[in-house]
Amino acid sequence: MKSCMHEGNTPHNSLGYKAGRLAVRMRNRVAEWNTRLAHLAHKRGLPLWVAKLPFIVFIMAVIGLFAASLFLLASVLLILAIIGFSLIAIAKGMESDDIVELDSQVLEGYCDGPDGVGEYAGGERIDKD
């Protein structure tokens, strides 16, 4: 019976196999390191939980880095979404006629103009010294 595997795609070359082997090797190294620290703690008369502290700190640091990465990614995506929605709103809501009407508007009476708040006549501020 022929195998369905393509050449170069044997189980030992697949990404999943390599990731699994890496995970097993790391687990074995951590277990060996933990055993060595437990032996040193026992030899020096320290409680066993002291030997587990470096492992716990390492796990907490990894979880913290993962959480910080997710927060940073979420922040960047939120900022991009806000910018995108703002650009869409600007494109839909702003027409050139509105801009012309605002520029051609003559300021009269008490209003907020280009020279600040004050009394305007014919577009010029008249209460300024």
Q: What is the pLDDT of residues 35-77, one digit of tens each?
A: 898 899 889 998 888 888 888 898 899 999 999 999 999 999 9
Which residues is 116 bridged to in the sheet?
Answer: 113
Sole residue written with tokens 């587990």:
52
Residue 44 lies in a domain: yes
Residues 118 and 68 grouped into a single domain = no
Residue 115 lies in a domain: yes
Please spell the DSSP secondary structure of 2-34, one letter per residue.
---PPTT--TTTSHHHHHHHHHHHHHHHHHHHH
Sole residue written with tokens 């687990």:
27
What is the pTM assigned to this prediction? 0.48
Residues 87 and 28 grouped into a single domain = yes
